[in-house]
Amino acid sequence: MSLTTATMPTISSIVVTYHPKAEEFAPLLDALLQQTHRVIVVDNTPGEANPALGALLQQSISPERCQTIRFGENLGIATALNTGCEQAMSAGSDFVLLSDQDSLPAPNMVAELVKGYYACEQNTGDIAAVGPCYTDMHTELTYPFQVQKPGNLFYSHGWPTEDTPYIEALSLITSGTLIPAAILQKVGLMREDFFIDHVDTEWGMRARHLGLKLIGCGPARMYQRMGENAVRVWYFGWRNESLYSPTRLYYRLRNFVALLKDPRIDWRWKVRSSWYSLGLVYTHAVYGNRRWKLILHASQGIIEGTTANLGKKSEVKSTKTSSLEKNH
């Protein structure tokens, strides 16, 4: 994508950081600066200042196109994304591109996402977001998209092909997702009481409930670190699965249980995804290296998801509410 193209829409990248590692963040930053107009870094790292992050921004290929918003505490990925999106819309951006700090987009990822968006909008209209195919750097697995095939009771997985490069998906992961600013006005921003995990799932399901479509874009590629590391698991055959910290496992299960109570989400997705969540518990309880702590956090997450005890785990919850959220 050339930033000199007169007809190209204005795109702001929103990157959420938390103690970013230079070897992961620096390549991401330069890749986004090469593909989008500006990069808005929303930093959740606790403390009065983050000089290491400032140095990384100054060493980038275009520091004048970088903007930093610091909270001084960890308010969660949802609040950070919302703050960045509001800043991007205030600056007149046509699209926002969401990103984690440890992702790495292919050199043409954004151009392919934009191409896919306009192709699908022209053919079907009502596009909420477009996301890339992603490969987990830990497991080296490339993941398909969740799709609801005609005639199937539950969702399955589908791959874009050369003949069908764009497919309608049931969900997209946060990192690499391209969203039109106008859609954020229609759907609203991210659910902040989820804090982290399933923030993308809930937003996408809310958009689909309004009749909008999520598109998986085959030509767009991104590399992502899922979880902390990988482990070999026997699950009807040996496979590689991602392992999460006890805290992340808590959020994943707590927020999934909260999704089960959302009447806007198709019951078929709930049933099918419950099987995956059982597999997540099995993987960590049997193969995790901190099994009892993982089991404890998983149990706590399930209980607190049932009782709607959301927000930041074991700490005072943020009362910040975005201007768009107040209307949704």
pLDDT one-digit tens code per residue, 58-114: 999 999 999 999 999 999 999 999 999 999 999 999 999 999 999 999 999 999 999
The average pLDDT across 25-31 equals 97
Q: Tens digits of per-residue pLDDT, 142-183?
A: 899 999 999 999 999 999 999 999 999 999 999 999 999 999
What percentage of residues in the chain have a pLDDT greater than 70?
93
pLDDT of the residue at 78: 97
C-beta separation of 173 from 227 below 8 A:
no
pLDDT of the residue at 161: 94
**278-290 residues labelled b (16+ CB within 10 A) or e (exposed):** eebbebbeebbee
Residue ranges per structural domain of the chain: 11-226, 229-306
- CB atoms under 10 Å from CB of 83, counted, come to 20
pLDDT of the residue at 318: 40
pLDDT of the residue at 227: 66
User: What span, in angstroms and rounded, lies between the C-alpha atoms of 213 and 202?
Assistant: 14
Angle CA 252–212–149, to nearest 5: 75
For the whole prediction, is pTM greater than 0.85?
Answer: yes
Q: Tens digits of per-residue pLDDT, 227-252?
A: 677 788 888 888 888 889 999 999 99
Q: Is the pLDDT confidence value at 316 over 70?
A: no
Q: Is the pLDDT confidence value at 282 over 90?
A: yes
pLDDT of the residue at 107: 96
pLDDT of the residue at 155: 93
Q: Strands 213-224, 127-136: parallel, antiparallel or unpaired by DSSP?
A: parallel
The average pLDDT across 284-292 equals 88
Q: Is the pLDDT confidence value at 133 over 60?
A: yes
* Domain formed by 11-226, architecture: Alpha-Beta Complex (3.90)
Confidence at 266, pLDDT banded by 50, 70, 90: very high
The average pLDDT across 207-233 equals 90
Average pLDDT, the chain: 91
The average pLDDT across 266-273 equals 95
Q: Is the pLDDT confidence value at 278 over 60?
A: yes
The average pLDDT across 22-37 equals 96
Q: Is the pLDDT confidence value at 317 over 70?
A: no
H-helix segments, the chain: 22-35, 51-58, 77-90, 109-123, 181-187, 199-209, 246-260, 267-287, 291-306
| β-bridge mates for residue 238, sequence order | 234
Q: How far is CA 266 from CA 93, 128, 263, 271, 296, in A?
A: 32, 18, 8, 9, 29
The average pLDDT across 42-71 equals 96
